[in-house]
Amino acid sequence: MAKNAIVGQSGGPTSVINSSLAGVFESCKRRGAGKVYGMMHGVAGLLERRVCVLDDKLRNALDIELLKRTPSSYLGSCRYKLPDWHTPEGEEVYRKLFDILEELDIGYFFYIGGNDSMDTIGKLADYGAYIQSEIRFMGVPKTIDNDLMVTDHTPGYGSAAKYIGVVMKEIIRDATVYGTKYVTIVEIMGRNAGWLTAAASLAKAEDCEGVDMICLPEVPFNVDRFVEKVERMQQNKPSIVIAVSEGVKLEDGRYVCELADDVHAVDAFGHKALTGTARFLANTVARRLDTKTRCIELSTLQRCAGHLTSRTDITEAYQVGGAAAKAAFEGHTGEMVALDRISNAPYQCTTSLHPISEVANLEKKVPLEWVNADHTAMTQEFISYAMPLIQAELTPIYVEGLPHHIYLPEA
């Protein structure tokens, strides 16, 4: 009798993460899986035996299409760090997990996520090998941060970049209507890698002058020099728009947002919550210069704007889900699917497999050669890299003027 499969989603959602879920589900069913289970809220939910049978939820082609076009994590997410299984306490957690997987007759395990999720896959695959389990563990890449190693880009990034490019064009139009001195600082997600903030450069075109400054976490930040640049820019152009990463850091390693008085919580992986960078910088500029300022935090809108997804992104998200299922059924385990770019014009991309050890707990940064000498703008190399990822659209299915989604009500 055919083994069952199980799939979970972890970490921050994206607007196309459910397309990967659809890819895993459909590929598993085509390859003869018994049931396909979904973990409710990732591994944390699985430890509580919170699972659903996706066969009962995704019953027809319309459900699959709605799933592809529904943003955020259909199964729910978590930020749960698996302990080290070499300790007595840790091994107890793994024994419980593998007991649950055995009860469900699981042969194939898929986890859709970013760096921390790949860490989970690596640990489960290692423990599985240690106890000689036949379960195959595969990682499916997902993150708007675009910071996973070995893959050219990550599903989720293209749609977030598209949203940022669109919104920056609209903010620039709004910021210049009065012709008076005004500084608009837009805070964009990105802890240690500035891929999302770099996407603000996509706004520049024949119909838009683009942003005036881009600040990435890869470049050490100096508040005094930042204010001086703003002052110089306003001598030639009263109203300027700046894109700044939430994760910009001072030369001593502190995040700029830590200069404010806000309290910053820490998650299970030790990541400090970053917010308030744009507000701090806008207040600083207003205090030091004779100008009005405003701050805008795009926040979660960057990752859940299902009405502005890239068709390229949705297609590739589905593709990596299917490739992970194919690999698992062919005997692969402890690996992640990567996207390999073949060419930019025409844009072509394929997939490959890499050991989790090449991905987990590592970060891919924006190449500094893709930033101009003044560290204020992106070069053409970045534009050529990012532009193919935002192409085309997959329009939501609208009902009474609003996009229609598929969702699982909380039990």
What 3-state class would DSSP assign to 333? coil
The residue written with tokens 């196309």 in the block is 16
Give the β-pairing of 398-399 and 347-355: unpaired
User: Which 3 state secondary structure label does DSSP give 376?
Assistant: coil
Tell me how far apart the alpha carbons of residues 110 and 140 are, in angstroms, rounded to a whole number.
7
C-alpha closest to that of 160 among 174, 172, 146: 146
Phi and psi, residue 394, nearest 5°: -120, 100
Alpha carbons 99 and 87: distance in angstroms, whole number: 18
207 is catalytic: no
Q: How far is the C-alpha of 209 from the C-alpha of 231, rounded, in Å?
A: 19
Contact 249, 258 (CB under 8 A): no
Q: How far apart are CA 4 and CA 33, in angstroms?
A: 5
* Both tokens assigned to 51: 């699972």
Is 259 strand, coil or helix?
A: helix
Q: Which of 63, 99, 105, 145 is catalytic?
A: 145
DSSP helix/strand/coil, 361: coil
Of the candidates 140, 129, 258, the residue with the CA atom closest to the CA atom of residue 191: 258
Q: Give me 349's structure tokens.
A: 């991309």
Of 122, 80, 112, residue with least CA distance to 14:
112
* CA separation for the pair 205, 169 (Å, rounded): 9
CA distances to 57, 76, 357 from 366, rounded to whole Å, are 40, 30, 21
At 215, which helix (H) or strand (E)? strand 213-215
The residues facing 139 across adjacent strands are 111, 336
Residue positions counted in the chain: 411
Cα–Cα distance measured from residue 362 to residue 359, given in angstroms and rounded to the nearest whole number: 6
- Extract the tokens encoding 203: 């706004």
Q: Catalytic residues, which ones?
A: 145
